[in-house]
Structure 1
Amino acid sequence: MTNKLLRFLDLHTGEEDKKKVLENVISNISFKGSNLWILACAIVIASVGLNMNSTAVIIGAMLISPLMGPILGAGFSLGIFDFELFKKSLKSLAIATIVSLLVSTIYFYLSPFKEPQSELLARTSPNIYDILIAFFGGLVGVIAVTRVEKGNPIPGVAIATALMPPLCTAGYGLAIGNLKFFFGAIFLYTINCVFICIATFFMVKYLKYPPTKQLDKQHEKRVKYTITALILVLILPSIYFAYKLREQKNYEQNIELFVTNEFKNKGYTLLFKKSTLNTNPKKLDLGFLTKKFTVAEIKVLNKKLIDYNILNTKLQIRQDTTDIKRYILNEINFGKTGINEKDLIIARLENKFLFDQYDNKAILSEVKIIFPEIDNLSISNHTFNKNTDSVKTIPILIYQSKKELPEASKQKISLWLQQRLSVEKIEVYKQK
């Protein structure tokens, strides 16, 4: 039974001739000519995808990228102790990295759209999970390379290990002068490269590829110690980042619970919510459709943050309608808001804020053509049912004339202004 299980799991079954595998790996190491052009084009495509926040475009760029070649070459060369091939692989990888950084930096420098999208931000804070993806992705890659039937794993490995997006993000960081983005993305890229290489090394040793030359025990130990040290250097910061990510997720969950219990469940319509973590204390900004809070109420709510384990945080509730309008529109324009129902919010903003002022002078000149008896007019919004979520804002026209207009004329003005101002309803009254 044990023998059957071992045969079932044996990776030597279906293995390609080792000499052919090595020839294939070596042929994909060099970065010159067509490989370099393909890489440059793939970098531009990936940069556009990150700029547009398009996952499909980024995946397409990863599929055509030839970056895996020198990384697998480095892993194979370490496994067979071919240090000349290892130097050649590192040289090719360095050329590919420099070219990629240069192309992506130029693209993002010239691009008019420099706001960080979610696909970009996702590549700036690597953690332990990225190590797991790189290592097991590398294992799948080298297993596929050593098979007679290559199958489907290679494209999947290119997508999973995601070598291109971190390089493009690093170029973005250089283009906008954000070193935090640059170093975070380069660290993620380094993690991917090193752990794909280490996975390849382990698999080459497991499949017993013959070494090009025999090393004495001391040299062999040195190679193993170097690999172990490299793993520790990369894995310890990644564990720290994973811990910080977990803390951030818990913090965000606590905020969501606080907002749900203290506001949403009480019928207050939340317009926006933004938490700022890089300040001391942290900040939680909230804005509501109609509800106004007193200073005393805000103090009570700040104290309640502790009950939800939201520590070292100051709650700020934006009350001024003009400030809310400016803030939300800015957040939506730059893609920073956490609001999902953006269309609904924009509609509310347009109805509530953007029609607060009308060009009365221009409207009067048009109205006088049809109704010359009107001497003057004023249109403004009037809000009903304040401090409730069924608030209504209705434009009202007040006109001046010697005589009150007939009902038919009022109806005609009302219908015309509904079309003119793109509003559902407008009421017409004579100034008393």
Structure 2
Amino acid sequence: MSDSSFSGFVQSFKKLAVDTLSIREGSDPEATIEGIKKDMTFKGHAAWILIFSILIASIGLNSNSPAVIIGAMLISPLMGPILGIGTAIGIHDVDMMRRALKNIAIAVVISLVTSTLYFSISPITIEQSEILARTKPTILDVFVAMFGGFSGIIAGSRKEKSNVIPGVAIATALMPPLCTAGFGLATGTYKFFFGAFYLFFINSVFITLSTYIVVKYLRFPIKKFIDRSKYRRYRSLLIIFLTIIVMPSGVIFMNMIQETRFKIAVDNFINDNTVFQGSELLTQKIVYTDTLSTIDLYYMGKNIDENKIIFLNEMLARYGLNAKAGEYFPLTKKTLVRIHQEDGSGADIDKKFAEYSNDLHSKLLRDIYTKNDEVIRDKDLKIKLLEKRIYNLNASKKDPYPVQQLNKELKFQYPEVEKYAITSIQLQEFEGDSLKVIKHPVLLVKLSDTVTDEQRPEYLGKIEKWIRIRLNDPKLKVYKF
């Protein structure tokens, strides 16, 4: 190929690349700025849409439903003021900047108050996996926010609008972190609040940065010019600010990589070294820290002697599970293997479980031991749920009424009730010469002094109607103490 032919090919390829990747053609800066200004205000219907979308997202997090969470993100109007901040910085519009900051602050307050109130009255207080996923942001979330921000502002700057913005809202996930922060406030788990709010903050900052870059590249009309020395100073401050913001997510990401490497090494160690004749490994619990990590192995069968335990701990170094001198990035400084074992002499596991098939604790153990790897990682969470179920089962044997739930509902609907008792009494009824025993449900209620004697019959009547519907028992009677 001659030089002229090669030069022509390069020029043709360059033109094709420019035509394919150019975003200036088809942009409409003036209309884009006006559209962003219109979308960044939270008044009237926009505020109510935000409240409803927050409630939907909170329900989705509470019920661990990704579909519901995605639906909430589709109707969320949170992107407006964030795009407004980036655009205002890019065109040097101070008034627009103030409005955007004011509205994002209003949106954050509304979101936190709404989600906190929801989780305060919700009977489900378990940290679902959808909640936990939004408490440890990493550097990957920064990239998602930046690429999502680029997509959002480029799509918004077109003369012909597209449906990219809803997808950006889902990808950048602005709303679920705010709902998770509300969960942290409602339950007092402030590490969830700070982790989730940090995720929302870095998403907002890097969407803003992407918007600023695109606005500058598309040469949106500048409202006010600033001198070059101030511009350089502001740019230096921005770089410092972004570096400080990103650092914690980078540290979390590195820790996540280290933990993943650690767990892979632990899996290899367990597969290679934990089979002992006469004993069977039921499950394991792995706890990772950068200082002291633990591997708890749960066996059933023949007792494992001390020499085998020493052997397991000595083998850790071969898998990189104990730090060596001079090692720069060890998986962990020290790992300890601990053996937990049922008393016995090698009895068959199924037989062992059959002996205690009627015991609730053995059912709990069997449930834990037969979980798959994914459930094992969340074992502590599942134990809490199972213990609560066992408690409710034991309680229901003693008393057929859901006392724990009634406590919450009575306190919420009838705050004047100071205490109550619900049970079944036996009525002795004569039918001719025979005696008939009838079980009769009764609710005894003590009201506070704020309810007058004249008001008490009507108030007790309301409680009676409610409790009959609540327990589906039309015979239930309500009496005062």
Residues 258-281 of structure 1 show CA distances to partners (whole Å, capped at 9, x for unaligned) of: 122223798975433222235963
Is 1:25 aligned with 2:47?
A: no
In the alignment, what sits opposite 1:410?
none
Q: Using CA pairs below 8 Å that are at least 6 residues apart, which structure has the higher relative contact order?
A: 1
- Alpha-carbon distance in 2 for matches of 1:183, 1:31: 25
- Deviation (angstroms), 1:78: 0.5
Contact persistence 1:272–1:328 (CA under 8 A)? no
- Alpha-carbon distance in 2 for matches of 1:14, 1:288: 67
In the alignment, what sits opposite 1:319?
341
- Deviation (angstroms), 1:29: 0.7
CA gap of 1:269–1:63, structure 2 versus 1, over 3 A, is farther
Residues 97-153 of structure 1 show CA distances to partners (whole Å, capped at 9, x for unaligned) of: 111111112222222222222221111111111111101110001011011233232
Contact persistence 2:282–2:300 (CA under 8 A)? yes
CA gap of 1:247–1:280, structure 2 versus 1, over 3 A, is closer
Residue type at the aligned position of 2:339:
I
Residue type at the aligned position of 1:231:
L
Contact persistence 1:104–1:172 (CA under 8 A)? yes
- Deviation (angstroms), 1:163: 0.6
Q: Which stretch of structure 1 is more off in the superposition, 283-292 or 235-244?
A: 283-292
Contact persistence 1:128–1:242 (CA under 8 A)? yes
In the alignment, what sits opposite 2:377?
338
- Alpha-carbon distance in 2 for matches of 1:57, 1:261: 43
In the alignment, what sits opposite 1:12?
24
- Alpha-carbon distance in 2 for matches of 1:18, 1:319: 70
Q: 1:124 pairs with 119, 135, 138, which one?
A: 135
CA gap of 1:122–1:264, structure 2 versus 1, over 3 A, is farther
- Alpha-carbon distance in 1 for matches of 2:302, 2:179: 44
In the alignment, what sits opposite 1:417?
none
How do residues 122-161 of structure 1 correspond to structure 2 at under 5 angstroms? 122-161=133-172
In the alignment, what sits opposite 2:118?
107
Q: Aligned to 2:153, what secondary structure does the other structure show?
A: helix
In the alignment, what sits opposite 2:15?
3
- Deviation (angstroms), 1:45: 1.4
CA gap of 1:339–1:128, structure 2 versus 1, over 3 A, is closer
Is 1:45 aligned with 2:48?
A: no
In the alignment, what sits opposite 2:314?
303
- Alpha-carbon distance in 1 for matches of 2:275, 2:92: 63
Is 1:276 aligned with 2:287?
A: yes
Residue type at the aligned position of 1:313:
T
Residues 47-105 of structure 1 show CA distances to partners (whole Å, capped at 9, x for unaligned) of: 12122222111111111111000000000000000011111101111111111111112
Residue type at the aligned position of 1:62:
M
In the alignment, what sits opposite 1:94?
105
Gapped regions of structure 2 (runs ≥ 5): 1-11, 323-333, 344-355, 380-481
Q: 1:80 pairs with 91, 103, 123, which one?
A: 91
CA gap of 1:78–1:324, structure 2 versus 1, over 3 A, is farther
CA gap of 1:114–1:295, structure 2 versus 1, over 3 A, is farther
Gapped regions of structure 1 (runs ≥ 5): 341-432
- Alpha-carbon distance in 2 for matches of 1:195, 1:25: 17
Contact persistence 2:138–2:252 (CA under 8 A)? yes
- Deviation (angstroms), 1:300: 1.7
- Alpha-carbon distance in 2 for matches of 1:18, 1:86: 17
Residues 182-227 of structure 1 show CA distances to partners (whole Å, capped at 9, x for unaligned) of: 1111111110000000000000000000111111223322332232
TM-score under structure 1 normalisation?
0.72
How do residues 8-407 of structure 1 correspond to structure 2 at under 5 angstroms? 8-15=20-27, 17-263=28-274, 270-278=281-289, 281-288=292-299, 290=301, 292-311=303-322, 312-320=334-342, 337-338=376-377
CA gap of 1:181–1:148, structure 2 versus 1, over 3 A, is same
- Deviation (angstroms), 1:44: 1.5
- Deviation (angstroms), 1:302: 2.1
Residue type at the aligned position of 1:337:
I
Q: What's the Cα RMSD here?
A: 2.7
Residue type at the aligned position of 1:80:
I
Q: Which stretch of structure 1 is more off in the superposition, 191-200 or 56-65?
A: 56-65
Contact persistence 1:272–1:339 (CA under 8 A)? no
Q: Aligned to 2:297, what secondary structure does the other structure show?
A: strand
Contact persistence 2:85–2:101 (CA under 8 A)? yes
CA gap of 1:229–1:280, structure 2 versus 1, over 3 A, is closer
Contact persistence 2:152–2:164 (CA under 8 A)? yes
- Alpha-carbon distance in 1 for matches of 2:278, 2:247: 46
- Alpha-carbon distance in 1 for matches of 2:378, 2:111: 35
CA gap of 1:337–1:107, structure 2 versus 1, over 3 A, is farther
Contact persistence 1:43–1:168 (CA under 8 A)? yes
- Deviation (angstroms), 1:298: 2.0
- Alpha-carbon distance in 2 for matches of 1:106, 1:330: 34
- Between the two proteins, what is the percent identity of the paired residues? 41
Q: Tell me the number of residue pairs that the alignment of Structure 1 and Structure 2 aligns.
A: 338
- Alpha-carbon distance in 1 for matches of 2:377, 2:182: 26
Q: Aligned to 1:211, what secondary structure does the other structure show?
A: coil
CA gap of 1:135–1:319, structure 2 versus 1, over 3 A, is same
- Deviation (angstroms), 1:230: 1.9
Residue type at the aligned position of 1:134:
A
- Alpha-carbon distance in 1 for matches of 2:377, 2:302: 20
Q: Aligned to 2:126, what secondary structure does the other structure show?
A: coil
TM-score under structure 2 normalisation?
0.65
Residues 360-389 of structure 1 show CA distances to partners (whole Å, capped at 9, x for unaligned) of: xxxxxxxxxxxxxxxxxxxxxxxxxxxxxx
- Alpha-carbon distance in 1 for matches of 2:314, 2:70: 46
- Alpha-carbon distance in 2 for matches of 1:95, 1:27: 16
Contact persistence 1:144–1:153 (CA under 8 A)? yes
Residue type at the aligned position of 1:117:
Q
Q: Aligned to 1:337, what secondary structure does the other structure show?
A: helix
In the alignment, what sits opposite 2:421?
none
